Amino acid sequence: MEGPPRPFTDYMPDILKRNMGRWKGHRMVEPGIMEHLSDSEKIYTVRAASTSNARYSTETIRKFADLADRYFGGYMRFTGAFNPEFFARTLEDARRLKKELEEMGFPVGGWGNHLWNITSCAGYFHCALAATDAPSIAKSLGDAAFKYFNQEELPAKLTLAVSGCPSACGGGFLADISIVGIHTEIPIVTENVKSCDLMGTAMICPVGAIQLKQAEKTIEIRENLCIGCGLCVGACSGIIFKTPEKTDGHAILVGGKASSIPPGTQLGRVVVPFLPNDPPRYELTVKAVMRIIETWKREARKGERLIAWIERIGWERFFEKTGLPFYQQSMDDLDLRSLMLLREGGGK
Amino acid sequence: MEGPPRPFTDYMPDILKRNMGRWKGHRMVEPGIMEHLSDSEKIYTVRAASTSNARYSTETIRKFADLADRYFGGYMRFTGAFNPEFFARTLEDARRLKKELEEMGFPVGGWGNHLWNITSCAGYFHCALAATDAPSIAKSLGDAAFKYFNQEELPAKLTLAVSGCPSACGGGFLADISIVGIHTEIPIVTENVKSCDLMGTAMICPVGAIQLKQAEKTIEIRENLCIGCGLCVGACSGIIFKTPEKTDGHAILVGGKASSIPPGTQLGRVVVPFLPNDPPRYELTVKAVMRIIETWKREARKGERLIAWIERIGWERFFEKTGLPFYQQSMDDLDLRSLMLLREGGGK
Amino acid sequence: MADPEEVVKGLEIIKELKKGPWPSYIGETEKTRYPLKLYAASLYLKRDLWTTGGYVSVPGVPTGILMRVTSRPDIGESANVVRIYLPSGNFVTSKMLRNIADFADKYGVSMVHAITTSEDFEIPGIPKERIRDFVSEFRASGMEVGSTGDAFRNTTTCVGPALCEYALFNAPKLRDDFYDRFNDYAKYPTFPHKMKLKVSGCPLDCARATQKGDIAIVGSWEGAPRIVKEKIENMPKERKEEIARSCPTGAISIRKGQLDIDGGLCIQCMKCIVMSDGALLPGERKKYLLYVGGKLRGKKGPFTAKLVEKFDDPYQAFDLIDKIIEVYIENAARKERLGDMLFRIGMKNFLHLIGKEERAHNVKDLRTNIFIKVTDEEKEKMMKELKKSIGGE
Amino acid sequence: MADPEEVVKGLEIIKELKKGPWPSYIGETEKTRYPLKLYAASLYLKRDLWTTGGYVSVPGVPTGILMRVTSRPDIGESANVVRIYLPSGNFVTSKMLRNIADFADKYGVSMVHAITTSEDFEIPGIPKERIRDFVSEFRASGMEVGSTGDAFRNTTTCVGPALCEYALFNAPKLRDDFYDRFNDYAKYPTFPHKMKLKVSGCPLDCARATQKGDIAIVGSWEGAPRIVKEKIENMPKERKEEIARSCPTGAISIRKGQLDIDGGLCIQCMKCIVMSDGALLPGERKKYLLYVGGKLRGKKGPFTAKLVEKFDDPYQAFDLIDKIIEVYIENAARKERLGDMLFRIGMKNFLHLIGKEERAHNVKDLRTNIFIKVTDEEKEKMMKELKKSIGGE
Ligand code: SRM
Ligand code: SRM
Ligand code: SRM
Ligand code: SRM
Ligand code: SF4
Ligand code: SF4
Ligand code: SF4
Ligand code: SF4
Ligand code: SF4
Ligand code: SF4
Ligand code: SF4
Ligand code: SF4
């Protein structure tokens, strides 16, 4: 059979098959432990933080398999947001699981008014296109915001996401607070360009900055038009950023969310347009993110996601209250009603 | 002295000069009669409906002058929204004034949760560019919605505006409910075009639909591009709409407002994109407007302007509740096109 | 000679428009010499019977007088219109009204257009050959014509402190002063297209400045509304709760039975104020907001005006208006309203052209894409500011 | 041979990343054969040391396998990545995990990327020459690789009714069925660019379908939420009031002590439901919403998805998806995501191309300009509908 293994029910424990569509309620017992009730049965799920970019050794994968065997007949799952999720029959079992996971280095937490997860892409770790290293930023943020994962309450759900470049594989744009890598130089064309599909490369440029020089079998980048998006760099190995160590960095965006709860689906907005890459701990970036979280925590109402709070008070006061400077790059020139229409379209 | 007569205080009654900036409060005694209080003094204003497009005979103007003489030493004013406004020293005087005005055919009303005014442009009455006749529509709406002017309460302030064409002199776009005339044909070029500033005419077209034919001393309108906006027709007498009696009509827009009260300044949105010109009484247009007013009256909360109500319930339910059909023309694509141009660096 | 069919039928139609409780302009018009047959015919034919004659300048009125040409001279005569400036706040005296009526009788068709949507009076129906005489005689009577052409059209303001306790400044006086300073721009057609300045005394914006003003000045304040102690004390608890609930930003809470307003959250929307029966009024730290780019047509259709700057004194806006005019004249295309120019070049470029930096109050929302260009200097400046504000190393 | 400076300094840097309470990927990586020195050097040098090798197709995987080329072969080897489909809902068994771990040990670097943001597993570090063997052996073990190239990338869904009482349909099952029907589009790279279908069981959208889905299916309903009588009765009055106040449209009122929900006003936002501790649940008149055009990059940056249609049965969406694919293939430019195509041609044209008429649910806001084109037939149709609805003559 081609495609994914299916039916998926073959990979589910019996209790879930029996209760499929029959669950009646759920309750967060404590961060990371959720109780699910059907008419006659009960199950606990226990979810642990994942490593940055969800990278594991086979040793750890086998330990997960062991836990699944010992607690639930060999079944477990991974959430859509990176986290390994285990099943338990009783609350005691769930708490034992939690302890075991924590001993392995995987704290249990999330759900409710907590930090649920940090997604991140491969960045320098595995990708060819990174303008910033997502995994190390994700780790630094996780350490700094850790108490919100399994201890202190926030006004509402909080998600963080880190992506190495505007492709946003790690979910830049979509989390309450997202970090997205950006290039800020105009790429240059090298000899290698000859080996690329020149027409295809020219066509990929979103602003028509690439001029095809058919005769010379090369292309030229018009500097005044190029927005440094990097699409051509990804498409053709003969186009490169020359000094990424000087020019690459990342932006902070706030206010993305997916759920229908007002104000519905939202994309993050750029509040800090550029921060330099400063591994291992990205102090300034982490400080700015923590400042946003803490201001929101102090000022928002219960149940108010980050963007709901900002919508209530307005951007001017967001900057006043967080103390973050307002940068002109946060201003989109397309900040006109037509763009709003576009951004919003129909929908939730 | 050039410009307007000034200082304006020379044209104000003493009591207003004395209390300038010292008013402490106001109270709508009844529709059209407002009491203004300063620390030590009191004044009443009485405002009457105006004719469509605020057209008066000199006979009536002189009667207004007489009223001003008899009640307040020769002083009166006109509100920014067409209405003649008189002053009175006591409530009895105000009520007498009201009676006199009503006997002249000028009912007193507006303020608070009522219909405040209907502004309208000249339309066929005096303008060369009209696609619909604003004054007769304004009159028909005034008659139909009259009870909301000085009797029944609405959820909030209501303003109506009628404009003969997209220039919107009468205030199309900006009232809670606006009617705006539209042309729906592509204009044609006649012999007279030779007398126009051809270059200027070509430049006026917002979508570049006019092609200059320097050699032949004429221009050509590219039908596929032309959006029938009529700007060229206004600019050059050699360009005309051929069968306006068949193609002209008007649209209904809802939700315009100026005040800061949430949701702030708003432009009207097109809910009925085309209605035929059907004088004298424009039954369908009037019915549609009344349907909107009555649905809003029934469904909105106290203090909720039309657009605030619509924002709360959403457009889908606006159409469900009013029963108005949703027309595809209410959906904007033009904005997106110009935005595209802009994004891709399109110039003038 | 008998009237043609369209007139006969047309007169039937307009008879209907004399009925009903709303004041009838037809009834009024019958008392004038306006060519009602022409209008009647146009309603029957469903087409406008006027054609445009443009603005023709006459001595002393460089921006021109509006010409109206009839396309059916058999049933109605061509006629032209003069626009008359009113005193600020549209205060008129009976003397002024009678004077205008006299001129309308003598030169026009005994009709006065009292008041236009841009708050002038008009006298319609003046024959072309009499315009010159009219203008000089009318001027001699102490009044002025204007509000035409590619110049400042009439500047309108709300009634302001003359009648209204919300006014944060003397809006009508500002209009007087505007004409002292900027009248040349109103008199000579030097702009790419018309320009309109509209002024409101408070954010309720009775002058619709934020909808119609190429340039708008609106009175506002900073921080919380002012609480009128005596009045708030007598307010029933439920009213207070209702007011607190109505605040869009949640700035109002009730502490110890009293309204407590967090100035840091107030967006000066006036909602609580209009609900308060005078117990709340605009705040005391006054601010004056300058907006640009509002208009209803132009090339791209209607735009609301966008906030550019907040001043401590409304007269500070005048210098910026000088700069805006300069930028408009230099950068706009022919017949391009300021708002369309703004749309074309972008708010950012506009701010830079008028010598301003972008600030949070200039945006309603922030960008979502990150195709951002930043120079090295900008980066350095950004890091400095950021470190200062959040205490980086 | 001694490590070059950038590796030595780099290893210092990453040591720091082993500290702290958040799980450390460095700690994990040290237990693998991943070239950590290469990564360490890149952090020190502040530049990515991988270069792209594109997707190279191998027999049986026409959409290709992701190639990773190192630009510093002296400190790290080139390596390629396979993406592995998981069962819907990301349910995995210990057997499956061990099987994958075995393959990662044998072919890769003993590392598993468990789970990608698009909910595959990956095994990184497979040498080019071993890919073919890997693929056939891995397939024989009962699992499939994919989610690459200009094709349907992995379709993701929330966990749905398997664990969640909000689910309005069996989202993971729909994914199974999707692959039964559409696998060819996932297997062969026939699209202009990648396509992603994301599916959420209810409007809370745990799959982030409306942010990331070129095509998104989201469970919803019509009318009011369902009230669970037993539970609502025990709810304290203040909780009820809090819930009523929280509704954005004011659909909830309290009548005779009970929650009264006006279905005509409910926008299915789920706010009341998540506050209710199970006393409110999604309504019973189920609807399935199809959105298009979401994505995070493309040519124009991030767009949220736009609502196209509401179905009574989620499987009705499949036929429309067929049509959407057809329209996408025919109309998109090379490397143009569906959302960018939509932006370019406009929602209207898109709807027409897929054989739909515009309806109120397709828009969030209406146009403000009136430069409208309407044909005579459209006018006639409009008048007919209008008369029918408001009872004109
Ligand atoms: C497990 C997971 C889905 C999956 O298939 O993997 C999930 C499952 C549930 N989500 Fe979710 N959400 C999951 C990611 C999301 C996401 C996406 C994300 O975080 O990346 C969202 C959209 C986020 C957004 O809006 O930005 C999401 C928005 C919600 C919400 C709305 C939150 C809000 O305030 O807007 C709720 C309701 C709530 O929290 O009360 C919710 C509630 C739930 C509940 C608790 C509902 C229930 O009745 O049980 C589901 C629990 C099922 C369970 O125990 O497995 N789920 N949920 C995802 C776990 C992510 C994680 O590991 O952290
Ligand atoms: C007289 C007038 C200004 C003028 O200079 O001519 C005026 C004057 C006042 N307006 Fe206004 N508004 C006047 C047109 C407007 C307009 C423009 C319009 O209607 O064309 C608006 C913006 C409308 C909009 O938002 O679309 C306007 C929005 C308001 C509001 C906000 C209403 C709202 O609910 O949004 C208030 C507050 C209220 O009604 O409680 C207000 C309140 C007031 C009060 C009653 C406030 C006060 O403290 O007294 C002012 C009374 C002064 C007086 O007695 O003359 N005024 N007001 C205008 C009378 C118009 C008329 O004849 O109907
Ligand atoms: C008299 C007046 C309407 C009324 O009956 O009250 C009026 C009447 C005309 N306007 Fe206007 N406009 C009048 C206020 C407006 C307003 C409202 C306002 O200013 O508050 C607007 C919309 C606001 C704005 O400016 O955006 C307005 C936007 C226009 C436009 C569109 C300009 C543009 O491109 O944006 C035109 C066409 C043009 O200028 O090319 C126009 C053109 C015209 C002409 C001159 C068209 C023509 O050549 O036939 C109209 C003459 C009608 C006539 O013969 O009586 N009129 N015009 C108003 C006189 C204002 C004044 O005293 O100065
Ligand atoms: C592995 C994964 C990230 C992760 O670490 O979890 C990933 C990794 C890459 N993505 Fe992605 N994308 C991944 C999910 C995403 C997502 C999120 C999602 O699907 O939920 C997005 C944003 C959503 C969207 O599609 O808009 C995403 C938007 C992109 C783009 C932008 C495409 C566009 O033009 O819109 C690219 C660039 C491209 O395709 O040309 C890209 C390209 C890449 C490449 C192949 C770039 C390259 O050639 O080096 C990355 C390989 C990294 C590596 O070597 O490890 N990736 N990519 C995810 C694999 C998904 C899967 O299992 O199929
Ligand atoms: S977001 Fe950019 S850096 Fe990160 S994996 Fe995707 S393409 Fe690579
Ligand atoms: S970096 Fe982006 S904008 Fe610049 S040339 Fe390449 S594709 Fe075009
Ligand atoms: S809106 Fe149009 S029809 Fe009416 S006065 Fe202005 S230009 Fe003439
Ligand atoms: S009607 Fe408007 S769009 Fe058409 S040619 Fe004339 S100016 Fe251009
Ligand atoms: S705008 Fe404000 S100050 Fe001016 S009249 Fe209206 S309410 Fe009064
Ligand atoms: S003016 Fe508006 S924002 Fe300010 S306190 Fe009053 S209601 Fe709140
Ligand atoms: S999207 Fe809805 S149905 Fe699916 S897991 Fe989330 S809450 Fe449950
Ligand atoms: S789902 Fe949302 S809109 Fe519907 S009743 Fe509940 S809170 Fe109100």
Q: Which residue has the higher pLDDT, B261 or B230?
A: B261
Same domain, D19 and D131: no
pLDDT at residue number B337: 42
Q: What is the pLDDT of residue C347?
A: 85
Q: Report yes or no: D362 at the B interface, CB cutoff 8 Å.
A: yes
Last residue of a domain, one of D148, D168, D186: D148
What is the pLDDT at residue A345? 39
**Shared domain check, C261 and C173:** no
pLDDT of A340 reads 40
Q: Which residues contact D120 (CB under 8 A, 6 or more apart)?
A: D83, D84, D85, D86, D146, D147, D154
Q: Examine the pLDDT at B67 and tell me if it is beyond 50.
A: yes
Contact partners of A by the rule of 3+ C-beta pairs under 8 A?
B, C, D
Segment (H or E) for D57: strand D50-58
User: In whole numbers, what is the pLDDT of chain A averaged over residues?
Assistant: 93
Number of Cβ within 10 Å of residue D246's Cβ equals 16
* Chain C contact for D368 (CB, 8 A cutoff): yes
Residues A162, A39: Cα–Cα separation, whole Å: 40
Of A180, A249, A331, the CB nearest to C358: A331
Shared-domain flag, residues C130 and C230: no
Confidence at residue B214, expressed as pLDDT on a 0 to 100 scale: 84
- The verdict on C372 touching D (C-beta cutoff 8 Å) is no
Judged by CB atoms closer than 8 Å, whether chains meet at A334 and B332 is answered as no
Average model confidence (pLDDT) across chain C: 95
Q: How far is CA A316 from the centre of its chain?
A: 26
Same domain for C133 and C65? yes
- Find, among B11, B171, B22, the residue nearest to C88 by Cα: B11
Would you list the domain boundaries of chain B?
14-103, 115-181+249-330, 188-240
Please tell me the predicted confidence (pLDDT) of residue D327. Answer: 98
List of chains touching C (3+ CB pairs within 8 A): A, B, D
Read off the pTM: 0.95
What the block records as the tokens of B253 is 């827009």
- Give residue-wise pLDDT tens across range B139-149: 999 999 999 99
Provide the ipTM. Answer: 0.95
Chain A residues touching B339 at Cβ < 8 A: 334, 336, 338-339, 342
CB atoms under 10 Å from CB of D217, counted, come to 29
Select the more confidently predicted residue: C265 or A328.
C265
Which residues of chain D does A36 touch, with a Cβ-Cβ cutoff of 8 Å?
163, 165
- Does the beta-carbon distance from D368 to C300 stay under 8 Å? no
Partners of C93 in the β-ladder = B75
* pLDDT at residue D1 greater than cutoff 80: no
C274 lines ligand 10 (CB under 6 A): no
Q: What is the CATH number of the domain that holds D247?
A: 3.30.70.20
* pLDDT (tens digit per residue) in C108-159: 999 999 999 999 999 999 999 999 999 999 999 999 999 999 999 999 999 9
Q: How far apart are CA D282 and CA D388, in angstroms?
A: 34
Highest mean pLDDT of the ranges C67-71, C263-267, C389-393: C263-267
The answer on D62 and D42 residing in a single domain is no
Of all residues in chain C, the one with the smallest CA distance to B166 is C297
Q: How confident is the model at residue B344 (pLDDT cuts 50, 70, 90)?
A: very low
* pLDDT, tens digit (0-9, with 9 covering 90-100), for D211-255: 999 999 999 999 999 999 999 988 999 999 999 999 999 999 999
Question: CA of B337 to nearest chain A CA: how many angstroms apart?
Answer: 9
Which pLDDT belongs to residue B335?
47
pLDDT band at D347 (very low <50, low <70, confident <90, very high): confident
Q: Is the CB of C340 under 6 A from ligand 9?
A: no
Put simply, the answer to whether D300 touches C370 (Cβ < 8 Å) is no
Give the pLDDT of residue C392: 55
Task: Write down the pLDDT at residue B336.
Answer: 47
The set of protein residues with a Cβ atom below 6 angstroms from ligand 8 is B 187, 204-205, 207, 209-210, 221, 226-232
Is C256 within a domain? yes
In one letter, which amino acid is A226?
A: C
B348 pLDDT tier (thresholds 50, 70, 90): very low
Q: Both C92 and C185 in a single domain?
A: no
Class of domain A188-240: alpha beta
Average pLDDT of the residues in A160-169: 96
What is the per-residue pLDDT across C66-90, written as a single tens digit (0 to 9) for each? 999 999 999 999 889 999 999 999 9
Query: pLDDT at position C96, please?
Result: 98
CATH code of the region B14-103 = 3.30.70.3340
Say how many Å lie between the CA of residue D292 and the centre of ligand 1: 22
User: Which pLDDT value is given to residue B234?
Assistant: 87
D14 found inside a domain = yes
| Mean pLDDT of all residues in A51-73 | 98
pLDDT of residue B343: 34
Percent of chain B with pLDDT over 70: 95
Residue nearest to atom 8 of ligand 7 (CA): B127
In a domain? residue C301: yes
Identify the pLDDT of residue B333.
61
Residues 6+ apart with CB under 8 A from B328: D348, D357, D358
pLDDT of residue A336: 43
Question: Is there a domain that residue C393 lies in?
Answer: no
Q: Element (H or E) spanning B312, and its range?
A: helix B306-313
- Average the pLDDT over B11-21 and give the result: 97
- B103-139 pLDDT, tens per residue? 999 999 999 999 999 999 999 999 999 999 999 999 9
pLDDT of residue C363: 85
Contacts of A225 in chain B (CB under 8 A): 345
Task: Give pLDDT tens digits for A278-296.
Answer: 999 999 999 999 999 999 9
- The pLDDT of residue D393 is above 60: no
Same domain, D322 and D239: no
C-alpha–C-alpha distance, residues D272 and D352, integer Å: 36
The residues in C 273-312 lying below 8 A from D, measured between CB atoms, are 300-302
Same domain assignment for residues C338 and C202: yes
Q: Is residue D371 part of a domain?
A: no
pLDDT digit string, tens, across residues C8-22: 999 999 999 999 999
pLDDT in tens, B92-107: 999 999 999 999 999 9
Residue C44 lies in a domain: yes
Task: State what percent of residues in chain C have pLDDT above 70.
Answer: 99
- pLDDT given for residue B69 in this prediction: 98
* Topology alike, domains B14-103 and B188-240: yes
Same-domain pairing of D97 and D130:
yes
Question: For domain B115-181+249-330, which architecture applies?
Answer: 2-Layer Sandwich (3.30)
Which domain does D131 fall in, by range? 51-148
What pLDDT was estimated at residue B136?
A: 98
Helical ranges in chain D per DSSP H: 5-16, 25-30, 36-45, 94-107, 131-140, 171-187, 209-212, 229-233, 237-246, 271-275, 316-331, 338-345, 347-353, 376-390
Computed on alpha carbons and rounded to an integer, the radius of gyration of chain A in Å comes to: 23
| D155/D88 Cα distance (integer angstroms) | 9
Residues of B in contact with A333 (CB under 8 A): 342
Q: Would you say residue D393 lies in a domain?
A: no
| B237, D55, D155, D190 from D148: Cα distances, Å | 61, 7, 12, 12
Interchain contact D275–A (C-beta under 8 A): yes
Q: For residue D366, which of A268, B178, B184 has the smallest C-alpha distance?
A: B178
Q: What is the pLDDT of residue B341?
A: 40
Alpha helices in chain C (DSSP H): 5-16, 25-30, 36-45, 94-107, 131-140, 171-187, 209-212, 229-233, 237-246, 271-275, 316-331, 338-353, 376-390
Contacts of B343 in chain A (CB under 8 A): 334
Residues D118 and D261 in one domain: no
Between residues A113 and A331, the one the model is more confident about: A113
For residue B110, the distance in angstroms to the closest alpha carbon of chain D comes to: 27
pLDDT of D51 above 50:
yes
Do residues D178 and D295 both lie within one domain?
yes
Number of domains comprising chain D: 4
Residue nearest to atom 3 of ligand 6 (CA): A226
Burial status of residue B235 (CB atoms within 10 A of its CB: 0-12, 13-18, 19 or more): buried
**pLDDT tens track for B203-255:** 888 888 999 998 888 999 999 888 888 889 988 989 999 999 999 999 999 99
Tell how strand C252-255 and strand B218-221 pair up. unpaired
Is the four-CA dihedral D99, D105, D108, D109 of positive or negative sign?
positive
- Judged by a CB distance cut-off of 8 A, whether residue C60 touches chain B is no
pLDDT for residue D392 is more than 70 = no
Q: Choose the closest CB to B146 out of C22, C28, C90.
A: C22
Return the pLDDT at A1.
76
Ligand in closest contact with the CA of C64: 3
pLDDT by residue (tens digit) across D81-101? 999 999 999 999 999 999 999
Whether residue C130 sits in one domain with residue C204: no
Asked whether residue D261 carries a pLDDT value surpassing 90, the answer given is yes
Residue D363 pLDDT = 86
Please say if the pLDDT value at position B332 is more than 80: no
- Number of A to C CB contacts under 8 A, please give it: 142
pLDDT on residue A334: 52
D391, part of any domain: no
Residue A234 confidence (pLDDT): 87
